[in-house]
Amino acid sequence: MHGKVIFYEDRNFQGRSYECMSDCADMSSYLSRCHSCRIESGCFMMYDRPNYMGNQYFFRKGDYADYMSMFGMNDCIRSCRIIPMHRGSYRIKIYERENFGGQMYELMDDCDNIMDRYRMSHCQSCHVMDGHWLMYEQPQYRGRMMYLRPGEYRSFREMGGTRFMSMRRIIDSMY
Average pLDDT on 23-39 reads: 93
Give CA–CA dist 102/82, Å, rounded.
33
Q: What is the pLDDT of residue 68?
A: 78
pLDDT tens digits, 118-137: 999 889 999 999 999 999 99
Q: Is 108 helix (H, G, I), strand (E, B) or coil?
A: coil
pLDDT tens digits, 6-15: 999 999 999 9
Q: What is the pLDDT of residue 74?
A: 75
Q: What is the pLDDT of residue 175?
A: 61
Number of neighbouring beta carbons within 10 Å of residue 1: 10
Asked if the domains at 4-83 and 91-174 fall in one CATH topology, the answer is yes
Architecture of 4-83 per CATH? Sandwich (2.60)
Is 50's pLDDT higher than 60? yes
Which H, E and C letters describe 23-81, residue by residue? Answer: CECCHHHCCCCCCEEEEEECEEEEEEECCCEEEEEEECCEEECCHHHHHCCCCCCCEEE
Is 161's pLDDT higher than 80? no
Residue 140 burial class via C-beta count within 10 angstroms: exposed 0-12, middle 13-18, buried 19 and up: exposed
Q: Judge contact between 148 and 135, C-beta under 8 A.
A: yes
Give CA–CA dist 115/167, Å, rounded.
12
Q: What is the CA radius of gyration of the chain?
A: 16
Q: What is the DSSP letter of 84?
A: P
Query: Could you state, in order of their start, the residue ranges of all structural domains in the chain?
Result: 4-83, 91-174
Is 174's pLDDT higher than 70? no
Q: What is the pLDDT of residue 172?
A: 73
91-174: in CATH 1.10.3720.10? no
Average pLDDT on 151-172 reads: 89
pTM of the model: 0.87
CA 153 to chain centre: 15
pLDDT tens digits, 83-125: 998 889 999 999 999 999 999 999 999 999 999 999 998 899 9
Name the residue with higher pLDDT: 161 or 131: 131
Is 75's pLDDT higher than 90? no
Residue 23 burial class via C-beta count within 10 angstroms: exposed 0-12, middle 13-18, buried 19 and up: middle
